[in-house]
Structure 1
Amino acid sequence: MAGSRSSLRGGLRRGLGRGLTGAALLPAVKLSRQADALAAGGDAAGAEPLYAQALAADPTLAGTHNNHGNALRALGRLEEAATAYRAAVAHGLHEGMAHYNLGSVLRQAERREAAEAAFRQALALRPDHAEAWNNCGNLLRDLGRFGGAAVDYRRALALRPDWADAHDNLSAVLYLLHEQGGEEDAATLARLWRRDHPGNPLARHIGAAIAGEEADTRAPDDYVRQTFDLFAEEFDRKLAELDYRAPALLAGLLSDDAPAADLDVLDAGCGTGLCAAALRPYARRLVGVDLSDGMLERARGRGLYDALHEAELVGFLTGHRQAFDLVMAADVFCYFGSLDEALAAARAALRPGGRLAFTVEELDPADGRPHRVATHGRYAHAEAYVRAALAGAGLVLLRCGHDRLRFESGEPVMGLVVLAERPAA
């Protein structure tokens, strides 16, 4: 989860303070300003000794202590940075930013109780500091105090309603609160989130799922885009930790056919391109499509695609009639509740005899519904519904297997691994 952190540039304060005056003060001030210039350029290693020299000449320069703390933190010298921020406060920099910087470095040093006290002091002095509310929420999340974290994220969002990172943090902590026994509290907070931010895609979709309210028949495009743009940088690593198997399972469906590199192939919802290596041997032309530009940037780096498109999937499929021999969708239809529109569009994009391979999370038949959105925002589908939806779209089911897609919270997530065909005639 993303969170605000004070940077080397952030929170630079003028180095003037009580103490020496006149000619004796000038060397300290000059050194401090030289250090500030280096710090503003990102040179913490060059700035730090100049700050130390300035403070040796005049230890009462409160702003210089704060800036020295920023440089020390950038160099990973966390305990020294905390000492510098405390010195800034002791010498008169009794304002929100100094306490916020102290809280941030204490959290980084995993001194969480002391960090919370510093953040609360920062917020008492500056209650309009959205970043401090967000980082205090991050700290409470670290401590397992999920309800309190959600309250702090909501306060951050009251100040910065369009802050994507804080919405993402609130979404994640409400999920944790719900999954660890706080269903009623999570539902209440989710309803408030939806009420206060009706235009936010995460609030609309995840908020509805956690609150137990009626969700859309598919995840909103802006929710999917925002979620994966935020997730793109760590996507591959996270999925590896979850033992994500959907690309390998789908590749297994193709193993009966010897690769001939003569197919026009679409990797639908391609993400970072995890399916590309398996698809490339079959492809005369390999095309990827995804809503998230952040994901596509990483797919592009694999160098395996002939073309990549940033587009909504159903619209893209509908606009490329009979353009593909194979469409693969690994964990893509889990962002659709009703599959009717997506499957009809996939059939339209396939040539006669073309094949569609996809995975969905499996819904227990005992649930009784055709599909259900879970608190993590993905839909699960009943096998009977998937079979009926394929038939309704004019696709012939060739194979429907049951297998583990990944682990989540230590538990296996079971799915359907499906291969269907557009009839040749």
Structure 2
Amino acid sequence: MAGARLSLRGGMRGAALPPAVRLSRQADALAAAGDAAGAEPLYARALAADPMLAGTHNNHGNVLRALGRLDKAAAAYRAAVAHGLDEGMAHYNLGSVLRQAERHAEADDAFRQSLALRPDHAEAWNNHANLLRDLDRFGPAAQAYRRALALRPDWADAHDNLGAVLYLLHEQGAEGEAAALARLWRRDHPGNPLACHIGAAIAGEQAASRAPDGYVRQTFDLFANEFDRKLAELDYCAPALLAGLLADEAPGAILDVLDAGCGTGLCAASLRPRARRLVGVDLSDGMLEHARARGLYDELHAAELVGFLAARPGAFDLVMAADVFCYFGVLDEAFAAAHAALRPGGRLAFTVEELGPDDGRPHRVATHGRYAHAEAYVRAALAAAGLELRRCDHDRLRFESGEPVGGLVVLAERPVS
């Protein structure tokens, strides 16, 4: 978040303005227009003429931070405080730039001072929590995110942050503390989809038969801009594995294809050459915006998958679902809808995370909110939906917390008769 800009007060106008104030206001106008490089020397000249302008020191800090001159920005914010701007926002700006500069102890002090002066500042609670998370202090970070959400209950980013830090706390070995905080999260925000789904998973409570649509939509809208980069970092393989499966099993076929849960369109490049018509569907408008930018789809739809499939009987020769059914626990309805949407001889290709047979359950939701499925259950659910299994491979889908995530790479077919 950019630092807050402060206006100079006073009734002076036109020629009555002192030169330093006039320069500062010119710099403010450039900064407001996004021209940090143009504003910075004007702020410097204003402060050389009158170093007592506390608000100008603060605003100078903002443009220095925008220019990546973090140490100088911190010095400017300190000067703002020293010259009388001893208020929560100035300390918040200082804490934010010190965190960015990885001067953690100083950033912690600044955030604490900011919150002592302005305890109703949700952004300060959230960013202080971000700092505590950076320092692996996951329990205190979760408490600070809760304070942010008490002030802004509908703040999606803070809910996402809280879910992520509770997952880290659980992975750190503090399962009891994470579960207790997750239950409080669910109690305080019963209508929030992240609190309902991730909170239940971390608390070890009974999960729904599938992830709520609101959870999926909110998660991927927040994730859309960094989705491709993050998955590349995790060595995400599902699209390539499915492309290889189709190359082996259906070489050269030209088909009407649905990319189910298409996300940003990572499967589109492999599907386009075999598609007479390529359709994508996803719950997240943010993800679809990126898919649309690829220019490879004939149609893109924002819709819930099962309803979309059920409404298009016999429309497709191939339905591809890369890491989509990991947001379903019970697969029966989704597989039945896929059967309905496929033409006779049409195929469903998908991946799921594998739940080992020693677990004994058909499916299980993990603390990150995705479901894993037992192979025996996947086979039985396909058969119950009238789909014939053609191939079920075991492979690595990606890495999670440095560990490989094993999955099933599956191809099933709607029988011709």
TM-score (norm 1): 0.95
1:19 alignment counterpart = none
Aligned residue type for 1:235: F
Does residue 391 (structure 1) correspond to residue 383 (structure 2)? The answer is yes
2:349 alignment counterpart = 357
Structure-2 separation of matches of 1:392 and 1:346: 12
Does residue 62 (structure 1) correspond to residue 54 (structure 2)? The answer is yes
Structure-2 separation of matches of 1:56 and 1:408: 53
Cα deviations by residue, 1:233-269 (Å, 9 ceiling, x for unpaired): 1111111111111111111221235644531111111
Matches within 5 A, 1:26-425: 26-257=18-249, 259-260=251-252, 262-425=254-417
Cα deviations by residue, 1:152-200 (Å, 9 ceiling, x for unpaired): 1000000000001100110110000001111111001100000000010
Structure-2 separation of matches of 1:73 and 1:13: 18
SS in 1 for 2:247: coil
Aligned residue type for 1:180: Q
**1:15–1:61: 8 Å Cα contact kept in structure 2?**
no
Q: Which runs of 5+ in 2 are unaligned?
A: none
Aligned residue type for 2:201: A
User: How many residues were matched structurally?
Assistant: 413
258-267 or 194-203, which deviates more? 258-267
What's the Cα RMSD here? 1.4
Does residue 6 (structure 1) correspond to residue 2 (structure 2)? The answer is yes
**1:43: how far off?**
1.4
Aligned residue type for 1:423: P
Aligned residue type for 1:110: E
Runs of 4+ in 1 over 6 A off after TM superposition: none
SS in 2 for 1:285: strand
Q: Percent identity?
A: 83
Structure-2 separation of matches of 1:107 and 1:348: 53
Cα 1:422–1:261 shift into 2, 3 Å: closer
Structure-2 separation of matches of 1:154 and 1:83: 31
Structure-1 separation of matches of 2:266 and 2:337: 23
**1:15–1:32: 8 Å Cα contact kept in structure 2?**
no
SS in 2 for 1:272: coil
SS in 2 for 1:256: helix
**1:323–1:349: 8 Å Cα contact kept in structure 2?**
yes
**1:330–1:359: 8 Å Cα contact kept in structure 2?**
yes
Structure-2 separation of matches of 1:175 and 1:310: 29
SS in 2 for 1:255: helix
**1:306: how far off?**
0.9
Cα deviations by residue, 1:68-87 (Å, 9 ceiling, x for unpaired): 11111111111111111111
SS in 2 for 1:181: coil
TM-score (norm 2): 0.97
Structure-2 separation of matches of 1:241 and 1:424: 41
32-41 or 133-142, which deviates more? 32-41
Aligned residue type for 2:78: R
Aligned residue type for 1:147: G
255-264 or 42-51, which deviates more? 255-264
Cα 1:406–1:255 shift into 2, 3 Å: same
Structure-2 separation of matches of 1:285 and 1:324: 9
Q: Which runs of 5+ in 1 are unaligned?
A: 17-22
SS in 1 for 2:281: strand
**1:366: how far off?**
1.1
Structure-1 separation of matches of 2:17 and 2:316: 75
SS in 1 for 2:18: helix
**1:59: how far off?**
1.1
